[in-house]
Every structure is written in C-alpha cells, then in structure tokens.
Amino acid sequence: MVRIKFTAAALAVSAFACAAPAWAQTPAAAYDTCIQAGALLATPGQAPLAQQTVRITGSRIVDVVAGYQSQGCARVIDQQARTVLPGLIDSHVHILSEQGPNRRFDAVTKTSADRAFDGVVYAKRTLEAGFTTVADLGGDPEAVFALRDAIAAGKVSGPRIVAAGLAITPSGGHADVNGFAPEVLAALRANNRCNGADDCRRAVREAVQAGADIIKITATGGVLSNTNAGLAQQLTDEELKAIMQTAHSMGRAVVAHAHGKDGIDAALRAGVDGIEHGTYGDAESFKLYKQSGAWYVPTLLAGVTVKEEAGKPGTWMPKPVQEKALKVADTAIGTVREARKAGVKIAFGTDTGVSRHGDNAREFALLVQAGFTPAEAIKAATVDAAEHLRLSAETGRIAPGLAADIIAVDGDPTKDVAPLTAVKFVMARGTVAKDVR
Ligand SMILES: [Zn+2]
C-alpha cells in the first residue's frame, strides 16, 4: 500500500523533471532505510523476534519482514548485534529547565528566548537518551510551544513534544509563582492562576488558545514549591469539575499533579485523565483509577532525586521544600507497588528537569524495584505511554504506518533494564539522531 504510494510520488517528481528520469536507468530504491535487527521488540508486551528487518520510507515505517533484508533499500543500518525497540516515551518532563541551586533566579533573569535555547540543549540530550516523545507538563508557554513546533518542523533535533504550557493552579498553588517578595510575585503572575469554577474555565480556554495540547493542573500542593502549604487538595471539587468539562469539550485530556490522597481522589472523581506523582494514593484511590480508566504516572525518579538533594548537608533547598522532599520518595515506591498489584494503568514518566535531562531511563530500575518486570516497564514507556498521550496511531510500537521512532540497545532489555540507560541507536521520525559503533 505505502509502497504503491511511494512509486506514484516518484512518477510525479519525474514528470516535472522533463529529461529521462533517473529511475529509468537505475532501479529506484523502494525504501529509504532498512534496519536489520538482531532482536526486534516491535510491540512491547509481546515477545521479541530474532533477525527481523524494519523498512522505512520518509518518516514512516513501511513494514517489518523476517530475516536480514537489503533488497530495494537505499541505506541499510546494521543493528544485528542489538535489540531494536520503539522509541521511548516520557509522559512527564520539563524540557526548558533543570533544578539546581540557582534555578529560582531563572524566573527573574531569563527571557522566553533564553528558555527556548535551554530547551534546545535539553531536547537533544533527551532524544539521544532514546526518548523520541515527551510530554512537557509545565513551562514557559511561548518557549515550549515554539520548541515543540521547531522540532516537528525538523528545524531542531529533539523528541516529539506534547506540551501543556503553564499548569493551571489556584492562587498560591504549586504552579503559581512562589518564594519571592510580594512585588516580584505580582510582576511575575500569569494567566494560569484561577479561583472559582468560572475562572478555572477561563484558564483552560486561554491555555488551549495559547497552544496547549494537554491541560496540566495542580490538584494538590507540591514538593518543590517554596511554600509551607503541605501536599493536600488545593483546587476545589467545583474547580476540578469545571476544568475537566471545559478541557474535554475542547478535545484536551487533563493530567493532575497530585500528592495528597484527598486531591488524588477528588481529581479522579471529577474525571481527570491522568494523575502525576500520586504519592499518597491508597486502595480507595486505586478503585477510582480503575473505575474511570485514568492513568497513573508515578515519576519515581523525581522523588529519589529530591530526597538525595534534601539529605545533603548545606543543601540549596529552602526548608519547606526540604521537609516535603525527605518524605515522598519512600512512600511513592510503595504506592506504585500496590497500584500495580491492584491493576491500575501505569504509564512511564519521570518529571525530568527535577533530575538531569538525559537520565530519564533511570526510572526503569525504580519501576523494577516497585515490582514491574523489565518487559512491563518497557511497555509502560512505549505502548502504554502512547495510549495515555493519545498517540497510539503515531508511535509506541514498530508497525506499518507509524512514525519511524526506533532505538537499539545492547543485550535483552526484557530481561535486564540496565542497557536502556545506554541507548546505542536512535531514529526519530525517520532521521538518525545517534548510532554508536
Ligand atoms: Zn513536573
């Protein structure tokens, strides 16, 4: 089917060329690229197959065939010694920034243009780590939407970005500006704050208008906001319902940052599509996840990273942040263990930006600690994350018609996740971004 289309395109080009078409003398390659895979994990969750060839034209996978094929291939990429699998998906990053001692000055020293250029660096690092898709859940809207569009247009090398822009939050909430003098807070305030159902409808509409692909909200307090306001529910039930209804009517999914059980359960009851962190969720919460079909994105790496920092003598973390940071990591891993046993749908996400960009794959080992098999952890970062982000028709598997988002690692990652932290080959939408020999 696709092959026929390709031939038709070649004829159309030759019709404009006037002179004898090149394909009349030399046989045209039917495929731009053929990747010969020693083992192919085409659909994570199913068993890998030995000795397969993935054939690609343009940015799309044409087909997958048995054996090492090269006929009709303009370029053959030998990955015979490796396991080839779909590009990884991180459902929760902040691609424009990284935590550190000076991070809080960024808000008053950096422009949107500065943040976009920072994002270019982090996006490249993320892609080279094997992540061909990310969801950016909170950052400068102007910068992140421009970066998303530049990557999609092929101007900049990076993962496909599903972008939220600024998270919607109540006044003083986790995604409101915090930790500055009142006059600085007043100067930095944006249109993402909302108070009351009507105002929260406005905030959703303005986020969609600005370019948001997905709506991120802060249902509870957060660890890294410099406020002494705990981790409990912050958006009211009425505000949550207004947000879900407005976002869904505009075709957008809603994902909620939530640590406290009250906020997790309230967001689930209001019809949220995903819970981020979900730290203090319990058996009752798991029932709510299952009733609504909402996804859980645990971001264990963020918890581990902030705990490491909070435990250092002379940490840069302000006291209210440090106290919250020391508690969450150990709780989170137990919650994920119980949620998995209860049958909650879990998608891979890291909150990278809290941790270092390019280290996203450290989450795999943490999921394994929480009871995942390596194969389940890979499925969470491919098939499942694609479904969560509504991208199953685009990425998450190696199958005809999907984007050629393909990586390769040494060894068998369905037995041991360690090689996923050292990805050797990366192709994003048909373009090779990395091939270590
Ligand atoms: Zn986050």
Q: For 86-112, what is the mean pLDDT?
A: 93
Quickly state the pLDDT bin for 12 (edges 50, 70, 90). Answer: very low
Task: Check whether 334 has a pLDDT greater than 90.
Answer: yes
> How far away, in angstroms, is 384 Cα from ligand 1 center?
19
> How far away, in angstroms, is 256 Cα from ligand 1 center?
10
- The per-type count for the chain, helices as H runs and strands as E runs, is 15, 14
Report the alpha-carbon distance of residue 426 to residue 428 in Å, rounded: 7
Q: For 421-431, what is the mean pLDDT?
A: 98
> How far away, in angstroms, is 351 Cα from ligand 1 center?
5
> Can you give the pLDDT at residue 224?
77
> How far away, in angstroms, is 270 Cα from ligand 1 center?
21
Copy the structure tokens of residue 250. 């505009």
Q: For 397-419, what is the mean pLDDT?
A: 98
> How far away, in angstroms, is 143 Cα from ligand 1 center?
17
pLDDT in tens, 164-216: 999 999 998 989 988 899 999 999 999 999 999 999 999 999 999 999 999 99
| Percentage of the residues of the chain whose pLDDT score is greater than 90 | 81
Quickly state the pLDDT bin for 325 (edges 50, 70, 90). Answer: confident
Q: Which of 184-188, 196-200, 234-238, 421-425 has the lowest mean pLDDT?
A: 184-188
- Among 338, 396, 337, which Cα is nearest to 371's? 337
> How far away, in angstroms, is 157 Cα from ligand 1 center?
23
> Can you give the pLDDT at residue 15?
39
> Can you give the pLDDT at residue 81?
98
- Among 339, 405, 324, 413, which Cα is nearest to 371's? 339
> How far away, in angstroms, is 19 Cα from ligand 1 center?
57
> How far away, in angstroms, is 350 Cα from ligand 1 center?
8
CA–CA–CA angle 404, 406, 408 (5° rounding): 160
> How far away, in angstroms, is 315 Cα from ligand 1 center?
21
pLDDT in tens, 126-150: 999 999 999 999 999 999 999 999 9
Quickly state the pLDDT bin for 25 (edges 50, 70, 90). Answer: low
> Can you give the pLDDT at residue 226?
67
Q: Which residues contact 95 (CB under 8 A, 6 or more apart)?
A: 119, 122, 123, 126, 134, 136, 139, 144, 147, 158, 161, 353, 357
> How far away, in angstroms, is 57 Cα from ligand 1 center?
36
Rounded to the nearest angstrom, the gap between the alpha carbon of residue 319 and the centroid of all alpha carbons in its chain is: 30
pLDDT in tens, 42-79: 999 999 999 999 999 999 999 999 999 999 999 999 99
Mean pLDDT of the chain: 92
Backbone φ and ψ for 84, nearest 5 degrees, come out as -105, 135
Copy the structure tokens of residue 432. 């090779």
> How far away, in angstroms, is 5 Cα from ligand 1 center?
42
Quickly state the pLDDT bin for 230 (edges 50, 70, 90). Answer: confident
> How far away, in angstroms, is 302 Cα from ligand 1 center?
8
Q: Is 98 exposed, middle or buried (0-12, 13-18, 19+ CB in 10 A)?
A: middle
- Among 364, 411, 386, which Cα is nearest to 159's? 386
Strand pairing category for 33-40 and 49-57: antiparallel
Quickly state the pLDDT bin for 276 (edges 50, 70, 90). Answer: very high
Report the alpha-carbon distance of residue 295 to residue 272 in Å, rounded: 9
What's the predicted TM-score (pTM) here?
Answer: 0.92
Report the alpha-carbon distance of residue 216 to residue 207 in Å, rounded: 10
Task: Check whether 106 has a pLDDT greater than 70.
Answer: yes
> How far away, in angstroms, is 428 Cα from ligand 1 center?
24
Domains of the chain in sequence order: 31-87+397-435 (2.30.40.10), 88-388 (3.20.20.140)
